Structure 1
């Protein structure tokens, strides 16, 4: 193990390289410290491997690697909900480039052994260039692998975090006091109301997850609903839930890529949390496919995370490697444009950004409440990933860095009929 020189203090270097200084107490294994001494929350760098992670991958990826591995420990906050840490660090995680003189001092102090990156934690997915070996981005094979990485963690783990609804998309809170389950029910019901679902109609839910929308449409509206998902574990869980609820005559979930759905002439299609995964360049084909599977006057409800502007961007390194491999976001304007260019008429648009912040708050709460069971199910590293990811995303939604939009559209008939009343009914 290499040692630093006496004049070299790890905490001083880390603080100097952050934008605006260290906003909380930072302590390192060499005895150095920086930040307010009376801070309620402390970050402790416990070993050399953690320093190597920070030195070789500055920014969110290095911090995530050290945190997930247990080399960077948070004191004063539960690992299942490091929200306060993320709030304080949000504007400080992009390390500024050192000056030439600082770089010389940094390299001399760190030592060459600290500039060799350790193997990443096992929870980390391959970098984008390595994924090219698995197929073209958003090909059937590569999409299946990306979905498997995120959604096939453990149905039991998801049950602990998501609650009984097993809904892994933004809930809609009718009141400040609404519970997560009430809010998820309202989300599915709002989608159903916007789609104008009625008994006897046919619904296709693409990227259906654990079948929440499919079962809601069947149970509450008497709709014959088909859901498709690339996650084998989701499909198995959903089918069992459908049978247990006595909805087998109306509801079905298949382990299937949406591009392989053979049925057409649906009265309605819901796409809830799906668009984030398909790739911006594939929007024309995606919305064209959905248009072609609707009957005239059939409605589409697209519910997805967006950016606050319309400039496409890849997810940050942490999100891309640990949470949503190959994920891409753009703004609601681009979504609406692509839906219109596909030949659908946009009837309504709504931003539900702050509702997602509340949803993430409640998921974090569930993770904390079920921490021991979650760790037993998936391991401490994966549990830390989820706590970090949900807390960081909550801050992003609160600060309007990301948004959540629902866009309602219709396949207008040949004579221009859209089937809508003069004013919304939902």
Structure 2
């Protein structure tokens, strides 16, 4: 049987996807909005050496398998499928096909794959390397993907047709309102990225804001932008671990997209550290991606773990809320914004597609493919409720007065 037909049978003959293979075979309806193309025997060699998600990802990152058309459309067309779900006869046929490729075309993982974890998990040095791996790619690349806001976290859409920039502004403003920011207050923003929250708090609320990040490139970009906007008297972004911030007595702390890098065992210390940096009555807004529940492991799949977020972990909402509550915070509000992250990722995917040639020239085809695949897959995961985005607001209470309004005023 032709190669294209073999793969079509595995995933389903009625998919709105066209399969093409280097042997000239095609299967599926023509004129589809997306097509899967096996460009060389090396694609099958990758799949033979690592069956499933990782082998397919390696083949795509290395350019031996191509997705023509819209990546999100292609991924959305595939039903969730495990090797055990494939009928035995088809598994035998597929194994027979792949066995020869593994023998005659040995392959190595792409150079972009992060496999060499060194040092104690979530130590300062290992966290620094993991963050640098993902964020110290190229500020220019991120500008093309993220847009002018340079904000790499979930936006908040007041309406579905809002622009990405409007939604990122609304996200920062929602955080500021939840934290009760007012002129003259102080804010610590941990995992500050390119300084979006720090800039917003200083520019729109007159707040003295300090941000910290483990990415040198992010810190350099933020410092330049702060100076350019004339906000150096209010705003600062440091290349620093949040655990090393010496100041205390902040009125508010924001953690936007950092908790995913902390690790479950470190959560108690993480929340205690943030509590100790707040004054009594000060608020913490924790914004992070979570699993829907705690019924499966916290670590993401092999592709995300090796190509996107080394050492990343997604906890359940209950884990985040419980650890926050048990380590110095009275939890006052919580909400799930997962649909907003799907919309955010749709905007980033569109930006990458629009700037594809420039992005490939900047960071290379393999790394650009990693971002194309992971952002489209993440969009789909948020839509399907495979992952969520939760904002949890807590206050450092003195055991009585919380300094919170009787009803939310944001």
Cα deviation code 1:107-137 (max 9, x no counterpart) = 54434452565111222111xxx41xx1111
1:205-255, CA deviations, whole angstroms, 9 ceiling, x for partnerless residues? 000000000111111111111100000000011011111111111110000
1:46 to partner: Cα distance: 1.1
Report Cα offsets for 1:337-368 as digits up to 9, x if no partner: 00001021000001111000000001111111
Q: 1:217 to 1:378 in 2, by over 3 A?
A: same
Q: What is the match of residue 23 of structure 2?
A: 30
1:318 CA drift (Å) = 1.0
Measure the CA separation in 1 of the matches of 2:6 and 2:35.
17
For 2:189 and 2:396, how far apart are their aligned partners in 1? 17
Residue 181 of structure 1 corresponds to which residue in structure 2? 165
Superposition map of 1:103-182 within 5 A = 105-115=93-103, 117-126=106-115, 130-131=116-117, 134-182=118-166
Matched, 1:381 2:366: yes
Larger deviation: 243-252 or 374-383? 374-383
CA distance in 2, matches of 1:212, 1:397: 23
Cα root mean square deviation, aligned:
1.9
Q: Which residue of 2 aligns with 1:96?
A: 84
Task: Provide closer, same or farther for how the CA distance between residues 111 and 304 of structure 1 changes in structure 2, counting only shifts above 3 A.
Answer: closer
- Relative distance call for 1:109 and 1:351 in structure 2 (3 A) is closer
8 Å CA contact 1:168–1:209 kept in 2: the answer is yes
Report the counterpart of residue 185 of structure 2 in structure 1.
201
Moved more, 264-273 or 174-183: 174-183
- Which residue is equivalent to 1:320? 305
Distance 1:193 1:110 in 2: 56
Residue correspondences, number: 407
The whole-number CA distance in structure 1 between the counterparts of 2:143 and 2:31 is 38
Deviation of the 1:9 alpha carbon: 3.9
Q: Which residue of 1 is the match for residue 262 of structure 2?
A: 278
1:56 aligns with 2:16: no
Partner Cα distance (1:135, 1:292) in 2: 27
State which of 299, 303, 314 in structure 1 corresponds to 2:283.
299
* TM-score, scaled to structure 2: 0.94
State the 1:11 CA deviation.
3.3
| Structure 1 residue 242 corresponds to structure 2 residue 230 | no
Query: What SS does the aligned partner of 2:83 have?
Result: coil
Q: CA offsets, 1:269-307, max 9 Å, x none?
A: 000000001111111110111111111001000000011
User: Deviation per CA, 1:371-409, whole angstroms, max 9, x where unpaired?
Assistant: 222111111221111111111110111111111110000
Q: Does structure 2 conserve the Cα–Cα contact (< 8 Å) formed by 1:48 and 1:114?
A: no
Shift of residue 331 of structure 1? 1.5
Contact 1:17 1:97 in 2 (8 A): no
> Within 2, Cα distance between the matches of 1:70 and 1:238?
34
What is the rounded CA distance, in whole Å, between the counterparts of 1:169 and 1:95 in structure 2? 33
Contact 2:41 2:101 in 1 (8 A): no
Aligned 8 A contact 2:10 2:90 in 1 = no
TM-score by length of 1: 0.91
**Structure 1 unaligned regions, length at least 5:** 1-7
Matched-pair contact (CA < 8 Å) for 1:69–1:121? yes
CA contact (8 A) 2:72 2:380 kept: yes
For structure 2, the residue ranges without an aligned partner over 5 or more in a row are none
Matched, 1:344 2:329: yes
C-alpha contact (below 8 Å) 1:147/1:231 kept by paired residues: yes
Secondary structure at the aligned position of 2:63 is classed as coil
Aligned partners of 1:105, 1:59: CA distance in 2, in Å?
16
Task: Give 1:73's aligned residue.
Answer: 66
Aligned CA distance change for structure 1 residues 98 and 197 (closer, same or farther; 3 Å)? closer
Deviation at 1:106, TM superposition (A): 4.5
Please give the secondary structure, in 2, of the residue aligned with 1:401: coil
Q: 2: CA distance between counterparts of 1:377 and 1:345? A: 46
Q: Is the 8 A contact 2:219 2:239 kept in 1?
A: yes
